[in-house]
Structure 1
Amino acid sequence: MTIIEEYILNAPEDRQEQLQKLYLTIKQLVPQASEKMSYGMPTFYLNGNLVHFANQKNHIGFYPSPSAIEAFKTELTGYKTSKGAIQFPTDDTLPIDLIEKIVLFRLKENTNK
């Protein structure tokens, strides 16, 4: 069991399915990335941090970097965002297509370093 899988199993039961889906989506897109905990959050790492995610009290936090928030600001208008974070409401379906685009954007950024 990976450290991220352990994190998901320790999350509230009603959040585990969404967290697992998010984890597997990222893992499938960037299988070459290493997995670790950073800042207490599941993190995918390749030439630097790619993305973090976390179970929060009222949402699932996704942390792709300020550049990704800026690049996808039009598509993110329905979500609460801050400089480097996106809040996905737990009572909505995760926007997997958007998450995939953001992860691939971050992959391109990190491989062009």
Structure 2
Amino acid sequence: MAEQPATVDAYLAAFPDDARGILDAIRRTIQDALPEATEAISYDIPTFRLHGRNVVHFAGWKQHVSLYPIPGGDPALTRELEPYRAGKGTLRFRLGEPVPYDLIARIVTALAERR
């Protein structure tokens, strides 16, 4: 992305339809899980904030979408996230594969609870 987006809508508008559809669905999933959260752009990617603190970030890439950070403290959830782990604090969901939106909602809830 050449230009830094000013809004989440501008960020999403820069993606092709297929990726934008998934990013929109992730956005709605986060909004449903955290209805009191506000949206912002932080680190040049969409971010949801609660009580002045960043809770979760998501981003689109050429072949996947990512969610940051990874919640800790729940061994069962940690095991469930293992197939999507792409680094110390990154979850990666490949385009063209089913996106586990229910799991994303649980991740977001876990992240909000730890703040």
Taking the aligned partners of 1:98 and 1:69, their CA distance within structure 2 comes to: 14
In structure 2, the residue matched to 1:25 is 29
Q: Secondary structure at the residue paired with 1:92?
A: coil
Conserved 8 A contact 1:69-1:84: no
Count of residues in Structure 1 that have an aligned counterpart in Structure 2: 107
In structure 1, the residue matched to 2:50 is 46
Conserved 8 A contact 1:59-1:89: yes
State the shift of 1:22 in Å.
0.2
Task: Report the more deviating stretch, 5-14 or 48-57.
Answer: 5-14
Structure 2 unaligned residues grouped into runs of 5+: 1-5
TM-score by length of 1: 0.85
State the shift of 1:90 in Å.
0.6
TM-score by length of 2: 0.84
Alignment of 1:1-113 (within 5 A): 3-47=7-51, 48-63=53-68, 65-66=69-70, 68=71, 71=74, 72-110=77-115
Runs of 4+ in 1 over 4 A off after TM superposition: none
State the shift of 1:15 in Å.
0.5
Superposed CA RMSD: 1.7
Taking the aligned partners of 1:18 and 1:70, their CA distance within structure 2 comes to: 28
Question: Sequence identity of aligned pairs in percent?
Answer: 33
Taking the aligned partners of 2:45 and 2:61, their CA distance within structure 1 comes to: 10
Structure 1 unaligned residues grouped into runs of 5+: none
